[in-house]
Structure 1
Amino acid sequence: MRTIAGVLVVVSTLVGGCAKAQPLTDVAASLTTLPMPSGAEVAPSVSGAAVESCDATASLRPSSEPEPTVDAIRRRGRVVVGIDQNSNPLSFRDPVTGELEGFLVDLSREIVRDLVGDPGKADFRLVSEPDRIPAVQNKTVDILTKATTITCPRAEQIAFSTVYFEGSQRLLVPRGSPVRGPADLAGKRICSGLATTSIATVARVAPAATILGVPNLDDCLVALQQGQADAASTDDVLLAGMVAQDPNLEIVGPPLEAEPYGIGINKAQDDLVRAVNASLNRIRDDGTWVVLYRKWLSALGPPPTPPEPKYRD
């Protein structure tokens, strides 16, 4: 904001001659009147996150035995994968090559390798936060690898694989911000993703804050940069990606909520759930998971032990 303001003042001085330059404070304030990100909602209707009432992270035991769903996918020769392009470093579009990259892109290809024998047969389909669950339910995608936290309400709508990544929800603020944790959020505007667990957690831990809901999480980065939000809140791995794009931001405060990620699959396709879990076991056991973590998530620190799978059968 200082750079933009400075440029405007210089231009005003050169063009206006003796005209009085516009004060820096006025220019900076005007930036907050920039248009909101497309699809953004101020103070959307959100209920505070409920305490989990089930063990939704327990999945079906792995199996490599061919079954109807897996057989059909193999005959088709490709796997339709639901993902997004706005979640650096998990899944994003490289600005130079235009290709999808990230931890989840590579993880998806490893699963596709095990399902159809060729990682290049991943047919990526972009899905938004609100559209991801319906995409699984109506079988628009075979598997949903877009970052999705396993919760009890979601487990009633779709099936999940075992947990492949464990994150935690945190806060992102401009460096030097007085916001250091949830106690400082009263009266502030907090950006978070619509139809996410994060926005519900914000409503619970900061009931006196104003929530700015956006359809794509990278819109929170823009909102922070334009002064349209005082803080953003989502999973720590996604916030780390925003910091990588703008070092004038920092992650603060304690974890607000655990975020166990799972791969979403249609509830009628148990055989695909088992096959995906078999693939995840291979990815954990042969060191692939650690390789992918080091490649994409090193900003979070040294690779932890991959999440231990849990089963309900």
Structure 2
Amino acid sequence: MRWTTLSVVVLLLVTGCSGGESSVPGGTPSAIDQLVAKAPVAANVPAGSTMARIKERGELLIGGSLDAPLLSLQNPGTGELTGFDADLGKLLAKYLVGEPKTKLVTSTSETREPLLANGTVDVILQTYTITPQRAERVAFAGPYYESGQTIAVRRGTTGIAKPADLAGRKVVVGANTPAIAAVKAAAPTAELVEFGSDPECLTALRQGRGEAYVQDQALLIADASQDNELEIVGEPFTKDPYGIGIKHGDEQFKQFVNDWLREIQKSGLWQDVWRNSIGTVVSGPPPSPPVIGSAQGS
């Protein structure tokens, strides 16, 4: 999906959450409460499956973020998570256990795969780009969304208007992210400076430890909604399909999650989740969800 980034008017951050006054008896249900109320529950959960174990536990364990605005951000007052990924996680939990009960385990680009492999989490919902290389270690349901690598700079920076302009410059990237290969392909002489998380990358850019930051456009738009000094340059120069990470080899669970994705896409719930999160700062109607299984590695 392509967004006209520089014409996007940042209107507001996601303020709805499933806790607080909006969800107490007699109060007005929040946006996510309303979506959860009409979200489906799986009709059949095979005995002995991953899904059955999650249902018996009564809680979906998710690897994700606490600090990604519009995607998965923790409300400091209520402790609730809001955003596109966070709300999808609640809907998946309801599909599995009958209630939107989730527990988030903070993960980074470097810890996601170990968390899945050792069973600490059931899924990763964290702008996890599907690649053939990752698919050798992780099973991916989806894709459920498509973004792309984009350039951000400190406001007022000149001389960087396109990927080729990164040549010979220090460029901040996330460790173990598609940005590394994308920058190397677009500007082979760029000097990459790697950090483990998006907040660390942003801090490095602000401190001048790099002249540009390359990251998923979805994350950068969320970052720019909170930081007026961050300027997004141009359009995405790659296509990055996001997948829901699942333990490698668990094809039954992967199919189950894919069936759920198809169901919420068909019913319009996916579009509603987008409107309540990313759609609050991006003008226009919801994009068409990517076709399940369309990404190499999914």
The TM-score, its normalising length taken from structure 2, stands at 0.78
Which deviations, in whole Å up to 9, do the C-alpha atoms of 1:34-59 show, x marking residues without a partner? xxxxxxxxxxxxxxxxxxxxxxxxxx
User: What is residue 7 of structure 1 aligned with on the other side?
Assistant: none
1:262 is paired with a residue of what secondary structure? strand
Task: Give the 5 Å matches for 1:260-279.
Answer: 260-279=241-260
User: What is residue 198 of structure 2 aligned with on the other side?
Assistant: 217
Match of 2:94 among 113, 125, 135: 113
User: What is residue 291 of structure 2 aligned with on the other side?
Assistant: 308
Task: Give the 5 Å matches for 1:65-214.
Answer: 65-67=45-47, 68-119=49-100, 121-178=101-158, 179-214=160-195
The separation in 2 between residues aligned to 1:99 and 1:228, in whole angstroms, is 33
How many residues are treated as equivalent by the alignment? 251
1:305 is paired with a residue of what secondary structure? coil
- The 8 Å contact of residues 151 and 234 in structure 2, kept in 1 or not, is answered as yes
Which deviations, in whole Å up to 9, do the C-alpha atoms of 1:253-275 show, x marking residues without a partner? 34221110010111232221122
The separation in 1 between residues aligned to 2:259 and 2:251, in whole angstroms, is 12
Shift of 1:156: 1.0
Match of 2:240 among 240, 259, 262: 259
2:126 is paired with a residue of what secondary structure? coil
Shift of 1:63: 9.5
Task: Give the 5 Å matches for 1:210-249.
Answer: 210-249=191-230
- The 8 Å contact of residues 63 and 275 in structure 1, kept in 2 or not, is answered as no
Structure 2: runs of 5 or more not aligned? 1-41
Structure 1: which amino acid aligns with 2:165? D
Structure 1: runs of 5 or more not aligned? 1-61
- The 8 Å contact of residues 63 and 277 in structure 1, kept in 2 or not, is answered as no
Which deviations, in whole Å up to 9, do the C-alpha atoms of 1:230-283 show, x marking residues without a partner? 111111010101111112222113422111001011123222112211211222
The separation in 1 between residues aligned to 2:187 and 2:76, in whole angstroms, is 35
The separation in 2 between residues aligned to 1:199 and 1:95, in whole angstroms, is 32
Which deviations, in whole Å up to 9, do the C-alpha atoms of 1:2-32 show, x marking residues without a partner? xxxxxxxxxxxxxxxxxxxxxxxxxxxxxxx
RMSD (Å) for aligned C-alpha atoms: 2.1
- The 8 Å contact of residues 182 and 253 in structure 1, kept in 2 or not, is answered as no
Shift of 1:65: 4.7
The separation in 2 between residues aligned to 1:65 and 1:92, in whole angstroms, is 30
The TM-score, its normalising length taken from structure 1, stands at 0.75
Shift of 1:109: 0.5
The separation in 1 between residues aligned to 2:44 and 2:163, in whole angstroms, is 45
Which deviations, in whole Å up to 9, do the C-alpha atoms of 1:271-309 show, x marking residues without a partner? 211221121122211111111111111223321112222
Bigger Rg, which one? 1
